[in-house]
Amino acid sequence: MSSNGPTPSTNQPAWRRALKIHAIRFFFVGGFFLLWEVASGRWIEAFLISSPSKIWLAFLKVYQSGELTTNTWVTFQEIAIGFPVGALTGIWTGYIFGRSKALADIFEPIIIALYGVPRTALAPLFIVWLGIGIWSKVGVVFILVFFLNFFNTYAGMKQLDQEFVDLARLMGANRWRLSFRVILPAVSPYIITGFKTSIPFSVIGAITGEFIAATEGLGYYIRAAAGVFRTADVFVGIAVLMIIVILMNKVADLIERRVLRWQTQSESVQVQG
C-alpha cells in the first residue's frame, strides 16, 4: 500500500488521519462547550447565553412534556411539503424556460424582478392569504425553495452544450430520452447545487412564517421562549433546527453521490493521486 506510493513520507494510513481529524474536532467542540459552561453566570449573565447543562435539562423537560415533539412535527410537516414541491417545481420551470426561448424571452425580466423582492418580506402576505395554520408556512418555504432551484437549473440550461443535444438527436433520441438521458444529466451539477443551497432556506422559510403568526411550530416555540427570557429553551429549538438541516443535508449528499457518480469518481481519483 504505502510501499508503492510515490511519496511515502506524506503517506499515512487513512484511518490514522481520520482519527486525528476527529480528535482535533472533538477537542475543539468540547472546549467550546466547556468555555460556554464556565462563562455562563461568571463572566456573562446566565439569562443571556444560558449554558450547555441548562440546555440539556430544558431539553429533557420539553421532550418529556411532548411540547418539543409537537412543535417539531409541525415545522417538519411544513418543510416536508414545501421543500419537495418547491424544488421540483423550480427545477421543472427552469428546465422548461431553458428549453423554450420564447418563454424565456417573455418571462425572464419578470422573474428577475421578482427575484429582487426579498422573499421573506412576502411571508406576511402568505399569512393573510393562507391563514395562520401550516399552509402559510408551506407557502413561504415553497417560494424560497422554488426560486433557488429555478435559478440554478435555468443557469445550467443556459450553459448546456448544444453539441450533446445535437448528437443525441442525430442518434435518434426521442423527447423522453433527450430530456432524461441527456439534458437533465448534463444540467444535474447545477440542479444539485440549487437543491442543496435551498435546504437551509426551507428551514428559514418555515421559521420566518412561524415568527410572524402561528400557534405552534419550532419558530413559535423559540419566539415564545425568548419573549419570557427562557434562553435555554431557545437554544433547544435552535439545536433541533440544526439537526433538521444536518439530516436534510445527509439525504441530499446521498442523492448527490448517486446522481453525480460520474463526476465524483473522477474527482476522488485526482485528489488521491
Q: Cβ 113 to other proteins, closest distance in Å?
A: 28
Q: Cβ 172 to other proteins, closest distance in Å?
A: 4
Dig out the grid coordinates for 229 from the structure. Answer: 427570557
Which CB, 170 or 228, lies closer to other proteins?
170
Three-state secondary-structure class, residue 146? helix
In whole angstroms, give the CA distance from residue 245 to residue 256.
16
Which CB, 184 or 213, lies closer to other proteins?
184
Residues that bind other proteins (CB under 8 A): 161, 163-164, 166-174, 177, 181-182, 185-186, 188, 261-263, 265-266, 269
Q: Cβ 193 to other proteins, closest distance in Å?
A: 16
Phi, psi of 60 (to 5 degrees): -55, -40
In whole angstroms, give the CA distance from residue 207 to residue 18.
36
Which CB, 89 or 263, lies closer to other proteins?
263
Dihedral of CA atoms 77, 82, 84, 90 in degrees, nearest 10, equals 180
Which CB, 1 or 170, lies closer to other proteins?
170
| Cβ partners under 8 Å of residue 272, min gap 6 | none
Q: Cβ 112 to other proteins, closest distance in Å?
A: 25
